[in-house]
Structure 1
Amino acid sequence: MASMNHLAEDLIFQILSWLPVLSLLRCKSVCKSWKSIISNPKFIQAHLAISQKKQHPFSTLRVVSRSDESQDLFMDTLGENSVKLSLPRYISDVRAQLLIRSCNGLVILGDIFFVFLYIWNPLMRMDKLLPLAHYARLGVVNKIGFGFDPLSSDYKILRVVFGRLSDLLDNGEKKEGMVAELYSFNANSWKPIQVPKEMQGFKFDPISECVCVDSRVLCLPGTDGILSFDLQDEVFRMHKYPASGEIISEVLDFEGSIALILRSGERASVLTLWALDEVDGNLWWTEKFNIEPAKRIAYVLIYLGDGKFNCCTRSLSCMLLL
């Protein structure tokens, strides 16, 4: 009987490991044994490995503000109903805007000023308050990026501060510029990251967010190009925009490459997707394809995979299928 129970649990483990995250959240409520299986770190690793190999439904996190200034967090997946996530009590009680970044099922939560940050695992219902970054209260604008370094098997958070750096200089010199810090989950600490002098004058886009491409390259859009940071070699790189035209998309993760959509042509009638591809060890912008119907699309928000884009017209949001 013991061997039969073991076999049944092993089969359940295998079946559950192929389900999307939303279904797993529901399955945790079925019985104690299923909850125990899903909460096991070995199951989390197995589920992540399978998810990275298959074409699974795209999931998004959605914040809904309530009348009492607090917020609810939902997970939406194509083809499934939304699931409300149970935030940790001390986070849900804070009446401040939630900062959300996610990678491999882990979520970064924090306040609007990016001072206090938490790593949260909704599936295992575990959370961790991060140590305070050295530059947490300095600068005018902050950008946060979150990704995974497969080389060191480490989750890392990049924090970039733009603004007056007088408080960081021992000689009292007044200076405008950019500083960066990197948090390592394995080390549970922050360390400074060198920003090259030629990138100190980078003119960032204050509206756009830091986008993670291929789970490990963090991208900050600017007025003249994209500033990227690779979590493996921990080096900043600058990429000028590919061609003339109006950029009408966020930085996109297009099949593991940094990508953008530009509007050009007579009467701005052509939408083209450009991607940074590696050629002979160098990155070059490559024109991939045009998108139709161009005139109806005002802005492209994200690439969902499998030829699908989430975009909006001037009046509403929609999903574009290629």
Structure 2
Amino acid sequence: MASINQLAEDLIFEILSWLPVLSLLRCTSVCKSWKSIISNPYFIQAHLAISQKKQHPFSTLRVVSKSDESQDLFMDTLGENSVKLSLPRYISDVPQLFFRSCNGLVILSDIHVVVLYIWNPLTRSFKLLPKPRVVKPRRKSRLYRLEFVVNFGFGFDSVSNDYKILRVVLVKINLGVEKRFQLVAELYSFNTDSWTVIMVPEEMRGFRQDPLSECVCVGSRVLCFQGTNGILLFNLHNEVFGTCQYPKTGVRMSDALDFEGSIGFILKSSENESIILSLWTLANVGGNIIWTKKFNIEPHMKIDHVLFYLGDGQFLAKDDGAGYIVYHDRKKGTPPLSCVFREFTYVAQISGSLVSLEGFEQQD
């Protein structure tokens, strides 16, 4: 029979596992036994699993440029005040900052995706990653000119328990009037702390990625890069590429969305002389991968662009009249939450966690 002390500890473990990260960080100061529980890797994984199942008020990381060489970073949580964050050393001097998020961890990158940090903004722990192998040469040739278009994705391979970054580089080779395109890729594994060049299939090496679009990690396992004529997919576990076409019905009113584990797009089309916004997702129907319409957004909604699917039927969307709003599809007829925020130069969705990786150090 379990002792009274063991029962009490199990009960404390269960209660703490339902608290948000900032509350847990305060709880570490209550007593040594609570700090021991919260810092235990088993507790961190249990807390992450519970957090992913329950619906939290969404949070975003938002960059606001003050000048060409200065920027501020904010964390916005629905229903709460914005919190200004301080960046790890060195990365704070990067003039244009980009990031990807998974399980509460954030990859911070410069515009060329050469300087890379992994960071937990809530626990304030971070690690500088080794530089990628594929970089633009400094020496210029008189015979040709190289241009690099770089994008990257970040996700978690749950099978091998490994966080991975895929860096995709579209190399444009300008030979006078002739232009050639070559797609190269390399993968960083946190388990090995190293980069590996990934072979891109011959038929995909001419894929022209959209430099302005986000890479979305769908279901934490498949990276989705948008191109001029289609989508490039990468399976984080099998480490293989694939492609698919965009939906053929309507005009895209969003970047790729992670809609409950499927790739989704908001499309605008005309029906009976009315403008309709609809969500379409990629689905496996009878062994065929096809785009399937899920539902229409209320016709009176004046949405210009959808940024994220937040879960529980909620979308973060741009409305020129009200700023950025939260639209709730499962509560049709209910006015959206308006003006969540207005000002930013870059924004990404984030969830809170206590996850820490080997080699992390604490921010000053």
Q: Aligned in 2, Cα 1:76/1:40: closer, same or farther, shift over 3 Å?
A: farther
Which residue pairs with 2:63 in the alignment?
63
- Asked if 1:314 is matched to 2:320, the reply is yes
Which residue pairs with 2:52 in the alignment?
52
Structure 1 position 58, deviation (Å): 2.1
Which residue pairs with 1:169 in the alignment?
none
Structure 1 position 136, deviation (Å): 3.0
Secondary structure at 1:131 match in 2: coil
Q: Aligned in 2, Cα 1:83/1:26: closer, same or farther, shift over 3 Å?
A: farther
Identity in percent? 66
Structure 1 position 289, deviation (Å): 1.1
Which residue pairs with 1:255 in the alignment?
260
Secondary structure at 2:255 match in 1: coil
Retained in 1: the 8 A contact 2:68–2:95? no
- Asked if 1:196 is matched to 2:187, the reply is no
Matches within 5 A, 1:100-111: 100-111=99-110
CA displacement, residues 125-174 of structure 1 (integer Å, 9 cap, x when unaligned): 322211111113365110010000111111000000012369xxxxxxx9
Structure 1 position 65, deviation (Å): 3.5
User: Which structure's residues are more often helix, by fraction?
Assistant: 1
CA displacement, residues 106-139 of structure 1 (integer Å, 9 cap, x when unaligned): 1111222211111112344322211111113365
**Relative contact order, CA 8 A, sep 6+: which one is greater?**
2
Which residue pairs with 1:89 in the alignment?
89
Which residue pairs with 1:176 in the alignment?
181
Retained in 2: the 8 A contact 1:98–1:112? yes
Secondary structure at 1:192 match in 2: strand
Structure 1 position 190, deviation (Å): 0.9
Q: Aligned in 2, Cα 1:295/1:17: closer, same or farther, shift over 3 Å?
A: closer
Retained in 2: the 8 A contact 1:22–1:77? no
Which residue pairs with 1:164 in the alignment?
172
Which residue pairs with 1:16 in the alignment?
16
Q: Aligned in 2, Cα 1:55/1:205: closer, same or farther, shift over 3 Å?
A: same
Q: Aligned in 2, Cα 1:29/1:309: closer, same or farther, shift over 3 Å?
A: farther
Retained in 1: the 8 A contact 2:218–2:258? yes
- Tell me the amino acid that sits aligned with residue 133 of structure 1: P
Structure 1: where are the runs of 5+ without partners? 167-173
Instruction: Name the CA distance, whole Å, in 2 between partners of 1:211 and 1:36.
Output: 35
CA displacement, residues 86-110 of structure 1 (integer Å, 9 cap, x when unaligned): 4323433x24222211100111112
Retained in 1: the 8 A contact 2:170–2:208? no
Which residue pairs with 2:290 in the alignment?
284
Instruction: Name the CA distance, whole Å, in 1 between partners of 2:39 and 2:72.
Output: 23
Instruction: Name the CA distance, whole Å, in 2 between partners of 1:290 and 1:309.
Output: 13
Instruction: Name the CA distance, whole Å, in 2 between partners of 1:95 and 1:272.
Output: 38
- Tell me the amino acid that sits aligned with residue 216 of structure 1: R
Which residue pairs with 1:153 in the alignment?
161
Q: Aligned in 2, Cα 1:246/1:319: closer, same or farther, shift over 3 Å?
A: same
Retained in 2: the 8 A contact 1:270–1:294? no
Structure 1 position 240, deviation (Å): 0.6
Matches within 5 A, 1:200-215: 200-215=205-220
- Tell me the amino acid that sits aligned with residue 153 of structure 1: N
Structure 2: where are the runs of 5+ without partners? 138-146, 330-364
Retained in 1: the 8 A contact 2:75–2:84? yes
Which residue pairs with 2:151 in the alignment?
143
Which residue pairs with 1:73 in the alignment?
73
Secondary structure at 1:265 match in 2: strand
* Alignment root-mean-square deviation, CA: 2.7
Which residue pairs with 1:245 in the alignment?
250
Secondary structure at 2:51 match in 1: helix
- Tell me the amino acid that sits aligned with residue 141 of structure 1: V
CA displacement, residues 44-103 of structure 1 (integer Å, 9 cap, x when unaligned): 2121121223233322212234469443433222233333434323433x2422221110
- Asked if 1:236 is matched to 2:241, the reply is yes
Retained in 2: the 8 A contact 1:115–1:137? no
Instruction: Name the CA distance, whole Å, in 2 between partners of 1:96 and 1:200.
Output: 31
CA displacement, residues 11-33 of structure 1 (integer Å, 9 cap, x when unaligned): 44332221233444555566776
Instruction: Name the CA distance, whole Å, in 2 between partners of 1:73 and 1:319.
Output: 21
Which residue pairs with 2:351 in the alignment?
none
Q: Aligned in 2, Cα 1:133/1:106: closer, same or farther, shift over 3 Å?
A: same
- Asked if 1:274 is matched to 2:269, the reply is no
CA displacement, residues 268-315 of structure 1 (integer Å, 9 cap, x when unaligned): 601111101123444221111111135611111111111111111233
Q: Please say which of residues 284-293 and 259-268 is displaced more in the overlay.
A: 259-268
Retained in 2: the 8 A contact 1:22–1:75? no
- Tell me the amino acid that sits aligned with residue 106 of structure 2: V
Retained in 2: the 8 A contact 1:269–1:295? no
Structure 1 position 222, deviation (Å): 1.7
Structure 1 position 184, deviation (Å): 0.6
Q: Aligned in 2, Cα 1:42/1:84: closer, same or farther, shift over 3 Å?
A: farther
Retained in 2: the 8 A contact 1:133–1:190? yes
Secondary structure at 1:43 match in 2: helix
Q: Please say which of residues 108-117 and 155-164 is displaced more in the overlay.
A: 108-117
